[in-house]
Amino acid sequence: MLPRSAKFQIGDIVRHRLYPFRGVIFDVDPTFNNTEEWWNAIPPEVRPRKDQPFYHLLAENAETTYVAYVSEQNLLPDESGKPVGHPQIAELFTEMKNGRYVRRMSYS
């Protein structure tokens, strides 16, 4: 089965479908690209398919900020209009415009 096009883009603000966290996308893998150990740690009843885009998020919940790796099937658009409070946002993005973050340009 061929991977499909990603539904979300870098800079989009999303929330998890099952768990109470949200974040901004900073990278996209066309299909699963993590370790088997990580994969097997997910309970089978909620384990996502590997043949879909996976997103790297600067994530936050009510207690903390962190980096998350989430399948497309488990993400929904975040329509709150609120910025994400992750401390690394300024390293990767310049501002929030029209409900999404604008990627900082790299000249390396």
pLDDT band with cut points at 50, 70 and 90 for residue 108: low
Q: Residue 45 pLDDT more than 60?
A: yes
pLDDT in tens, 47-105: 999 999 999 999 999 999 999 999 999 999 999 999 999 999 999 999 999 999 999 98
Range of the domain at 46: 13-103
Burial class (CB in 10 A: 0-12, 13-18, 19+), 70: buried
How many domains is the chain partitioned into structurally?
A: 1
CATH of the domain at 92: 2.30.30
**What's the rounded Cα separation, in Å, for the pair 104 and 60?**
20
Position 2 in a domain: no
In the prediction, which pLDDT does 5 show?
82
Contacts of 17 (CB under 8 A, 6+ apart): 73, 74, 75, 76
77 found inside a domain: yes
pLDDT bin (cut points 50, 70, 90) of residue 7 is: very high
In a domain, 34, yes or no: yes
**Would residue 72 count as lying in a domain?**
yes
Both structure tokens of 24:
């901004």
Predicted TM-score (pTM) of the model is 0.91
Measure the CA–CA gap between 20 and 14, rounded to whole angstroms.
Answer: 11
